Amino acid sequence: MQLHLHPNTLELGQKHWQQYLGVQSDPFSQYAYHAALETSGSVGGKSGWQTIHLEITHQGQPVALIPSYIKTHSWGEYVFDFEWANAYQRYGLEYYPKLISAVPFTPCAGPRVLLAANAHLGQALGFLQEQLPHLCAQLKLSSWHWLFAQQPDWQAAHQQKWHQRTGCQYHWYNKNYNEFSDFTARLTSRKRKSINKERRVIAEQGIEFTWQRGGDIEPQALQEFYDCYQSTYLKRSRQGYLTYEFFAQLLMQMPDKLLLVTASQEQRPLAYALFFVGDYTLYGRYWGCLEEVNFLHFETCYYQGIDYCIANNIPHFDAGAQGEHKLARGFIPQTTHSYHYLAETGFNDAIEQYCKAEAEQIEHYMQWAQTALPYKTKQ
């Protein structure tokens, strides 16, 4: 086997990338998604994200493609390792640059190790484990991090000598509902009334919602959405990670994966939310409002997404990272897994204890979260 490093997505080309995707529908694994990140300036330059995709071949034949980035900070990852960086600094060591295999700014589990037809994940990961010490030494990297691995890959990942971190997200599942009331009928009376009240408050203000998919999204709507997206970051005195050109390119290159919902009052836009769609999952990703309205966020980002899943027979809704308030609205806690290799072995014992303590905290939280779910019967 051989390990190849690709400094940009365009060098690989769509045809070469596609042989690792097959019929994979995950929107964040697409060539067009990673190419748009680069050509729009969302990664590269002074962003702190430098593309370096890893490709494994065997006798010249494709085995695995692992979209990856060299990082000079830890922002936009959502698996927080600032304490690790601080520990390195205390010992006079450099934590940055580091290497991550992930989708920038996208805390969604998915196939981040893309396999060619008939390739074996365990063999690819075993070879990668052998190569990581050489790779880190060659590029002067402190570490490698595989973020938000999909559940089918966990077993093979556990066979490697990597540190494992767990986290918690909240996802909604469609139990073959015919309408929204079928979903709320499974909730306790108090929670059902609370959700219905939140939706009624929005409806009584005459706020209406329209969905546009791909090519139906007007340029003006996309620009207004982007202004809203930026506003959510500016409220925290930061700029959004993604450029307008990124979204515009996605609209041109992969329109079937994009959904835009607009909240309007008397034909005046109040808020926007951008969703991505795969064959089996709706992903709620970005939102922003022009005017603060009570419950508008819940309706736009959660209830509208549930409505869409029910109407289109989509079984799974990933509404974004974090948000314990999702529990009361029927979103079920899910464990996330990430895997980590550190070139400096002197930290391994401390990191192992850190990950163990973190996993115990997550396990205890997950047990509590199950008791906080609003369903009348166990899901």
**pLDDT tens, N- to C-terminus, the chain (379 residues):** 999 999 999 999 999 999 998 777 899 999 999 999 999 999 999 999 999 999 999 999 999 999 999 999 999 999 999 999 999 999 999 999 999 999 999 999 999 999 999 899 999 999 999 999 999 999 999 999 999 999 999 999 999 999 999 999 999 999 999 999 999 999 999 999 999 999 999 999 999 999 999 889 988 999 999 999 998 887 776 788 999 999 999 999 999 999 999 999 999 999 999 999 998 999 999 999 988 899 999 999 999 999 999 999 999 999 988 789 999 999 999 999 999 999 999 999 999 999 999 999 999 999 999 999 999 975 4
Q: Do both 109 and 199 map to the same domain?
A: no
Q: Do both 124 and 273 map to the same domain?
A: no
Domain count, the chain: 2
- Give the Cβ contact number of residue 129 at 10 Å: 15
Q: Strand 258-265 to strand 69-71: parallel, antiparallel, or no bridges (unpaired)?
A: unpaired
Q: Do both 12 and 143 map to the same domain?
A: yes
Residue 322, in any domain of the structure: no
Residue 379, in any domain of the structure: no
Q: Do both 62 and 127 map to the same domain?
A: yes
Q: Strand 163-173 to strand 61-66: parallel, antiparallel, or no bridges (unpaired)?
A: unpaired
Q: Do both 186 and 219 map to the same domain?
A: yes
Q: Do both 135 and 212 map to the same domain?
A: no
Q: What is the dihedral of CA 13, 74, 320, 175, to 10 degrees?
A: 80
Residue 277, in any domain of the structure: yes
Q: Do both 197 and 255 map to the same domain?
A: yes
Domain carrying residue 17: 2-166+334-372
**What does pTM read for this prediction?**
0.94
Q: Do both 245 and 348 map to the same domain?
A: no
Q: Do both 134 and 189 map to the same domain?
A: no
Residue 329, in any domain of the structure: no
Q: Do both 10 and 142 map to the same domain?
A: yes
Give the 3-state secondary structure of 71-137.
ECCCCCCCCCCHHHHHHHHHCCCCCCCEEEECCCCCCCCECCCEECCCCCHHHHHHHHHHHHHHHHH
Residue 217, in any domain of the structure: yes
Token pair 């922002």 is found at 75
Residue 377, in any domain of the structure: no
Total residues found in the chain within this entry:
379
Residue 210, in any domain of the structure: yes
- Give per-residue burial for 92-124: e unless 16+ CB within 10 Å, then b: eeebbbbbbbbbbbbbbbbbbbbbbeebebeeb
CATH of the domain at 194: 3.40.630.30
Q: Do both 201 and 162 map to the same domain?
A: no
Q: Do both 27 and 88 map to the same domain?
A: yes
